[in-house]
Chains A and B, each alone.
Chain A
Amino acid sequence: MEKVTITLNGQQIETTTDKTVLQTALDNGIHIPHYCYHPGLSIAGNCRMCLVEIEGIPKLQISCNTFCRDGMVVHSTNDRVRKAVRQVLEFLLINHPLDCPVCDQAGECWLQIYYMTVGQYDSRFTGNKVIKHKKATPIGKWVMLDQERCITCSRCVRFTREISKTNEMVIFNRGDHCEINTYPGRELENRYSANIMDICPVGALTCRDFRFKCRVWYLESADSICPSCARGCNIVIHHNPHRPHKRNGARVMRLKPRYNPEVNKWWLCDDGRYNYRFIDQGRLRHCSVLSPTGREQLYLDEGLRRLAELLRQTPPRQTLLLLSAHSSNEEAFAARRLFDQSLGCLCKLPDEGVFTGDQDDFLIREDKHPNTNGVLRIFGWQTSDLLPMADLLDFVAQKNIKVLLVNRHELSADILGQLDQLECRLVYLGTNVTPAAEAAYLAVPLATFAEKEGTFTNCDGRVQKFSPAFLALGDAAPEWEIYSRLAQHLGLEQAFPSAAEVFEQLRTGNPFFQKLEFHEIGAFGELGAP
């Protein structure tokens, strides 16, 4: 690798010999049209959209497979290049059905985008289009195939070969008989399958879950972190604030990967990508208390007043808070401050969903929480300090626990019954209506990750920030806000005004977080102290 300077469209650019002309251009904010090139895959060089003129070489060259040399003079926008690229696009569109009005890719389709910039506006083709057989055919659990929209860029083929290593996608036949498909009798079946519809530049592969739910131009987005395992893949939440009357008020339309070179690169696993329904469905919206006539709904402050009363009446060592590794760093810190340090209650993090054994050597981690690492570090614990869920009842009996606060955990009917027998009052804090929430003496609604700001610490100790996509439903709120109000009812001078301020309190006194500044944690997150 050598440092070199090339001239691209008259502009001098410093680059290195291990970079292609296309990479160099993209890194410097100059867009050269391309379909088959994807930074996460091997170079195929088959679409020919990235043609450029290089002085001294008579023919146009594909910039995705031409490496930079010192003094190279490249043109990507002159008439000769534009004309060639227009012709390439014209060929790519010859057998394309042009069914944008019924295509779910419309609005984020690279055929449309390049058509606007280099398109041959009037078709010169008078022959019959070659018709492909598979239209709107599911090829796996999540992906829908429309063969005739395919431009055979082979990105999906290379993904299943190089990334998922499962080889399902193949281009069969040759020339204009080319057809993208799975092997006869085989389904697209791997845990990263939906990535191929992200990287398909056109509408040949679309998402069965998202199809026709919402036109992409109605979507808004918020940067976030996948909460479904300890990897903490970077995502964007695409939501639909403009048409709440559609789809029964569901707000989240889809999750998409967000590039982070240190964590998930361009990818997401299917489990994480499609685990979003709980944000809109079956939510716990209000405080409620168990009364002789059933559940009675309370204003948030009335619920918290009653909780304060309960905590005051119970000796702190007989109060147990079961923490959740779905809580953000700030929330876990606020819980520690209030329950552990000020009130002196017992706090435990159960081992539920931590050692599932379900992991691979790519992204998926066996710990199905986004922040076990953070909670452990905030409380100064090791994984050996986790409370085995199977020992919960023994612990409650042994310590004579009279108030059990459960943060999000699901409790079995058996445990719920036994708690009753042990005369232990259950207080449930959570995002969704669950059997535990319905059986609890008091239920308090929490905001989901999509409704709050904060940070998670992933399995590698990377502290990553997420931002709210929309407001929380009903009275639900982040834990630090709930605990602030609870502290007031307890007559304590303790305030957790915002995620940023709680983080500030957290980092003073915790060596792992000390060097981090909430507002300076960038899009890729930052590692805590080793």
Chain B
Amino acid sequence: MELTVNLKSRLDEIKRKFPFAFSSVLPAIHAVQEEFGYIPLEIEPAVARYLAVPQERIREVTTFYFMFNNRSVGKYHIYLCSNVSCWLRNYESILAYLEKKLNISAGETTPDGRFTISLVECLGMCEQAPVMQINGISYGDLTPEKIDRILDNLD
């Protein structure tokens, strides 16, 4: 798999900002994910070559952070927090509602490619638990009704 022109120019920009090749790995992976929606295993060698780091070092970073997807995800990626505060506030019922509404389980993508549900660790908004995040936008104090409203307003 080859780097796209757009990705190459993004990587050039990133490389310029860092004194060591290895420091550019994390922002570079973000750029790859923005380009493809996930980190395809096949692109890693090309990225590694471009940054002049071993490909192993890219993989270790992508697998370390949950926000990097190792396979393609839906247009809307729902992160549902499963940590202590949300658990105390019964995120499990929210999960059950989401799963029923979208007819998939956590970790799966709807057949039309619109939604993916992932269980994640703390999103840093414990005071509004239970919390979810969709493509970077956070929503707190979730109830089934609120979920209906949020999802129905997405195009």
Contacts and interface: CB of A to CB of B under 8 A. Distances in A.
Interface in B49-65: 54-57, 59-60, 63-65
B55 A173 contact: no
Interface string A142-180: 000000000000000000000000011111111000000
B54 A174 contact: no
A287 to B, nearest CB: 56
B59 A172 contact: yes
B64 A170 contact: no
Q: Interface centre among B56, B59, B64, by most A CB within 10 Å?
A: B56
A168 B56 contact: yes
Contact of A173 (B41, B56, B63): B63
Nearest to A186: B56
Interface residues of A, number: 11
B30 to A, nearest CB: 17
B60 A184 contact: no
Contacts of B64: 172-174
Nearest to A169: B56
B41 A171 contact: no
A172 B41 contact: no
Contacts of B59: 170, 172, 183-184
Contacts of B57: 167, 170
Main secondary structure of the interface of A (DSSP, over half): loop
Contact of A170 (B41, B56, B65, B66): B56
Q: Interface centre among A168, A170, A171, by most B CB within 10 Å?
A: A170
B41 A184 contact: yes
Contacts of A171: 60
A174 B56 contact: no
Contact of A183 (B56, B65, B66): B56
Nearest to A185: B41
A139 to B, nearest CB: 13
A184 B42 CA distance: 11
A460 B90 CA distance: 71
Interface string B53-95: 0111101100111100000000000000000000000000000
A325 to B, nearest CB: 38
A156 B81 CA distance: 34
B55 A172 contact: no
Contacts of B63: 172-174
Interface string A425-463: 000000000000000000000000000000000000000
B28 to A, nearest CB: 17
A107 B54 CA distance: 36
Contacts of B66: 174
Interface string A109-124: 0000000000000000
A171 B54 CA distance: 14
Contacts of B54: 167
Contacts of A167: 54, 56-57
Interface string B26-61: 000000000000000100000000000011110110
Nearest to A179: B63
Nearest to B54: A167
Q: Interface centre among B41, B59, B63, by most A CB within 10 Å?
A: B63
Nearest to B41: A184
A173 B65 CA distance: 8
B54 to A, nearest CB: 4
A40 B92 CA distance: 49
Nearest to B62: A172
A168 B60 CA distance: 11
Nearest to B66: A174
A171 B64 CA distance: 9
B81 to A, nearest CB: 16
A249 to B, nearest CB: 43
Contacts of A186: 56
9 contacts: A168-B56, A169-B56, A170-B56, A170-B57, A172-B59, A172-B60, A174-B65, A183-B59, A186-B56
Q: Which 3 A-B pairs have the closest CB atoms?
A: A167-B54, A172-B63, A170-B56
Interface of A: 167-174, 183-184, 186
Given A170-B57, A172-B60, A173-B63, 10 more contacts: A168-B56, A170-B60, A171-B60, A172-B64, A174-B64, A174-B65, A174-B66, A183-B55, A183-B56, A184-B41
Interface of B: 41, 54-57, 59-60, 63-66
